[in-house]
Chains A and B, each alone.
Chain A
Amino acid sequence: MNNPRTKKNLLYASLVIGVILILVGAYLSLTPGATQSGKVAVKVYLVPTDAALKIDGKAAKAGTAYLDPGKHTVTAARDGFASASTGYDFTAGQTDAAIDIALIPQTNAARVYAHDHANLYQEREGREAARDATFGKNFAGKNPIVKQLPYKNFLYTIGYRLDPTDPTGNSIVIEIDSPTGYRNGAVEKIRSFGFDPTDFKIIFRDYQDPFSS
């Protein structure tokens, strides 16, 4: 141990271990999944930036919040602005989770603030447009038939709407508007698009069940 060479080697080894520990610590602190296991990383945007924000009744701030998957209630308030209370539902593993609130000015002072910070409101609109575009793309990916709809000819119209029984908003109900005698033709049109009609919920507009007494 008293050998100077051994001491030097020990010093180098300690240095290397120290650097490795620092790198591992930095990696863990920058990797949400590693430090916030089971939580959803939610980006929080708030306009005005100094509004009072609460998530499930607890004070929060803009940045990144790590929340349990499931439903959350978010409130935001500031003098001169209309308060907001919004429900969110985040799923485990969700990578695009965001809380994005821009309060609407109601007093003159608040309008002056909004005017002076128009860029914040514009950025928020941009984020919303991007989210809408992503949702539209994902929705069409899950329901590729929507690319073919609405379809209309002189005998029937085939459209779609969201399935009210699916809370995720990702499922559709096919809606056919056709007189008696042409409904099967409309169903076969769906088959001709390359989809099996058996896989869809299909409803008929102005339909009267001919079997009911």
Chain B
Amino acid sequence: MNRKTIIAISAVAVGAIALFAVSYRLSLKTVTLNITQPNITITINRIDKDKSTKTASLTATGNVSLSKGTYTAVPAGTDANTTPIPFTVGDNNLTLEIHPGYSNAYLAKLLSTQQAAITAIIAAAYPKALTGFKRGREQLYKDGDWYGTTLIQNPPHPKENGDVYRLVLHRENGQWKIATPPRIILSAKEFPAVPIEILRDIDQPNN
């Protein structure tokens, strides 16, 4: 093999590698993670058939370059809701709003500090809620600024049943306000201002 041939083969090989590198770089999409909750870390895992591979990690709003595929953004941090957030990278760049809210344990702790204020608001709006009903399941959602409860109707006679009602409150500027009236079922069509996942949860049959 003469020198010219070796140079030619090398040039072709370098060109092919460069072409591959350029096409790979062009195939990557920019994913912007807009992290609006303080003190959390986001780990991005690529999900392939049976395995999950850590791909990137962010502690504040930023961009990552990802190839097409399915991923999860897993939040971590004191008191944070760590439920993985699935997302898919396709042909376009992507922006994700990351605000996982608080963990159920933290929200339960927070609820105990808010119950008196919440009860006062419910009593003022619906006095019969305290006399004709007993409080069932109670839950804070998101950043602790949404509250849902069930109100179990006292039956008119001991051998009869009462209905179970649902009620949602929202805290704005530090003040709790009624977000929905008590209803047997809270419809997403009737209450579009309430996040649908809250309505779906409080509408579940377990009291």
Residue of B nearest to A181 (CB): B161
CB neighbours of A31 from chain B (8 A) = none
Which segment of A3-11, A34-42, A140-148, A182-190 sits at the interface? A182-190
Contact B205 A191 (CB under 8 A): yes
Contact B161 A201 (CB under 8 A): no
* Given known A-B contacts A180-B156, A183-B163, A211 and B185 have beta carbons under 8 A apart: no
Q: Main secondary structure on chain B at its contact with chain A?
A: loop
Contact A211 B129 (CB under 8 A): yes
Output the least CB separation between B84 and chain A (Å).
Answer: 22
Q: Main secondary structure on chain A at its contact with chain B?
A: mixed
* Given known A-B contacts A181-B161, A198-B196, A204 and B184 have beta carbons under 8 A apart: yes
Contact A211 B181 (CB under 8 A): yes
Q: Mark B178-207, 1 if CB is under 8 A from A, else 0.
A: 000110111111100000100110010100
Contact B155 A181 (CB under 8 A): yes
Interface residue ranges of A143-199 to B (CB < 8 Å): 180-184, 187-188, 191, 196-199
- Asked whether any CB of chain A lies closer than 8 Å to the CB of B67, the reply is no
Q: How far is the CA of A199 from the CA of B103 in the complex (A)?
A: 26
Contact A198 B156 (CB under 8 A): no
Output the least CB separation between B125 and chain A (Å).
Answer: 9
CB neighbours of A180 from chain B (8 A) = 153, 156, 160-163
- Asked whether any CB of chain A lies closer than 8 Å to the CB of B20, the reply is no
Q: How far is the CA of A98 from the CA of B155 in the complex (A)?
A: 55
- Asked whether any CB of chain B lies closer than 8 Å to the CB of A108, the reply is no
Contact A184 B163 (CB under 8 A): yes
Contact A187 B161 (CB under 8 A): no
CB neighbours of A211 from chain B (8 A) = 126, 128-129, 165, 181-182
Output the least CB separation between A192 and chain B (Å).
Answer: 10
- Asked whether any CB of chain A lies closer than 8 Å to the CB of B164, the reply is yes
Output the least CB separation between A179 and chain B (Å).
Answer: 9
Residue of A nearest to B150 (CB): A184
* Given known A-B contacts A181-B162, A181-B163, A211-B181, A199 and B128 have beta carbons under 8 A apart: no
Q: Mark B130-170, 1 if CB is under 8 A from A, else 0.
A: 00110000000000000000000101100011111100000
- Asked whether any CB of chain B lies closer than 8 Å to the CB of A57, the reply is no
- Asked whether any CB of chain B lies closer than 8 Å to the CB of A202, the reply is yes
User: Which of B128, B165, B188 is within 8 Å of A198, CB to CB?
Assistant: B188
- Asked whether any CB of chain B lies closer than 8 Å to the CB of A135, the reply is no
User: Which of A183, A188, A210 is within 8 Å of B132, CB to CB?
Assistant: A210
Contact A200 B189 (CB under 8 A): yes
User: Which of A184, A204, A210, A213 is within 8 Å of B205, CB to CB?
Assistant: A184
Q: What would 4 more interface pairs be, CB under 8 Å, given A199-B188, A204-B184?
A: A181-B160, A187-B184, A188-B205, A198-B185
| The 10 A-B residue pairs with the shortest CB-CB distance in the complex, in nearest-first order | A181-B161, A211-B126, A198-B203, A183-B163, A198-B200, A198-B199, A197-B185, A183-B184, A184-B164, A187-B185
